[in-house]
Structure 1
Amino acid sequence: MIITRATPTDLPLLLQYRQEAAGWLSNLGIDQWSNAFPEDHILASIKAGNVFLLKDGPRTAGTITLDSEPEPDLWTEAELREPSMHLHKLIVSRAYAGQGLGSRLVDWASDRTAQAGGRWVRINVWSTNERLQTYWTRQGFQHVRTVAGGGVGGAGVAGWLGQRPADRNDRHGLVEKLTDRADALE
């Protein structure tokens, strides 16, 4: 399988994946991604080169967003000074469920973060989604804290914050076919 960058033409597919994932989670009784997500936000991430697709030949098996921008007001100033990348919107198509692709994407994100000079891969998960928190713990993320209400600065989304050390690895076994871009941390 290969990793490619998403393009603006992939926006409908990415929105479909989010809707599919939200429906699957809802059927499990999990309130995650039930809110509408602004298309312009995803499009901006695509244009910034931060959205990636996991391709299995011509089919897309999953998607992941990896960038240097955390959700606002969740991480402290001291934490934000540590070089890190933030993992968002990891979705594996239900047609590929159960094949360990989520773990491979997380390992890829860890490797990519380390290559860019990052120390941590960070995530935030809805504080009400205990099953997803358990998933991330199994992926090697350590719970940093749960931010209730408005976050560190009083605005933003409440969330369970986790981080995992970035490490160079080839556990993911994925081949990158990315356009030429500067991928260093800011």
Structure 2
Amino acid sequence: MNETVRLHQAKRTDLTMINDMLIQTVLWLQSQGSSQWSGILEGQDNHNTAEAINRGEVFYGTINSQTVGMFILWDHQSKWDSSFWGVDKSTDYFYLHRLTIIRAFSGQGISSKLLNEAKIYAKSKGKKAIRLDCIADNQYLNKLYQNAGFVNRGKITNIITDNQKKDFNLYQYDLK
């Protein structure tokens, strides 16, 4: 798909659309044998998406006015982020979470386009870098982030999430 992704900052009225995207992704993940983000189906929102929308941290992309995916960019660390990256009270970094693609658009390079839009936005806000964590054994996602220019900054092991012990890779994209 060669069309340009247009980035939108989600508004309160977009909450249902954003939640529907997340639920669709969780159901797809489950169909692939993954329990990642499964708490969403039980009403657990560890990222407090509604409040993140109110703070202007949730973004979605469209192509020709059709929604294709979303992500969250925090300019402060959550407890999760500080446990991985160490405490950093600055606002020098964005922390990327919940990169999600509507299944009908998977395999079309939308994830890379959304990541590029996140980079452009972060640079416009004067950030030093974008940071994220990724389940270490998810080869597809690790390759996606590496191909998008994110550099592996380490590995955190034996973290309990979604009722399973998992390892996470830490990635950072330095803005030039």
Matches within 5 A, 1:101-120: 101-120=110-129
Which has the larger displacement, 14-23 or 30-39?
A: 30-39
Distance verdict in 2 for CA 1:11–1:150, change over 3 Å = same
In structure 1, the partner of 2:151 is 142
Distance verdict in 2 for CA 1:27–1:84, change over 3 Å = same
Which has the larger displacement, 84-93 or 25-34?
A: 25-34
In structure 1, the partner of 2:175 is 166
Q: Does 1:7 align with 2:11?
A: yes
Query: Higher relative contact order by CA 8 Å / sep ≥ 6: 1 or 2?
Result: 1
Residue 61 (structure 1) shift: 1.3
Q: Does 1:75 align with 2:119?
A: no
Tell whether the 8 Å contact from 1:113 to 1:121 is kept in structure 2 after alignment: yes
Higher fraction of helix: 2
Alpha-carbon distance in 1 for matches of 2:89, 2:167: 17
In structure 1, the partner of 2:59 is 52
Could you tell me the percent identity over the aligned residues?
A: 23
**Aligned partner of 1:99: which letter?**
Q
Matches within 5 A, 1:169-184: none
Matches within 5 A, 1:84-123: 84-123=93-132
Cα shift readout 1:54-113 (whole Å, capped 9, x = no counterpart): 123442111121121234222124x66582111111111112222211111111111221
Tell whether the 8 Å contact from 1:31 to 1:128 is kept in structure 2 after alignment: no
Aligned length: 161
Cα shift readout 1:124-168 (whole Å, capped 9, x = no counterpart): 1234534322322222211111223469xxxxx96321111124x
Tell whether the 8 Å contact from 2:119 to 2:175 is kept in structure 1 after alignment: yes
In structure 2, the partner of 1:31 is 35
Structure 2 unpaired stretches of 5+: 161-165
Alpha-carbon distance in 2 for matches of 1:144, 1:31: 25
CA RMSD of aligned residues (A): 2.6
Alpha-carbon distance in 2 for matches of 1:146, 1:39: 22
Structure 1 unpaired stretches of 5+: 152-156, 168-186
Tell whether the 8 Å contact from 1:120 to 1:166 is kept in structure 2 after alignment: yes
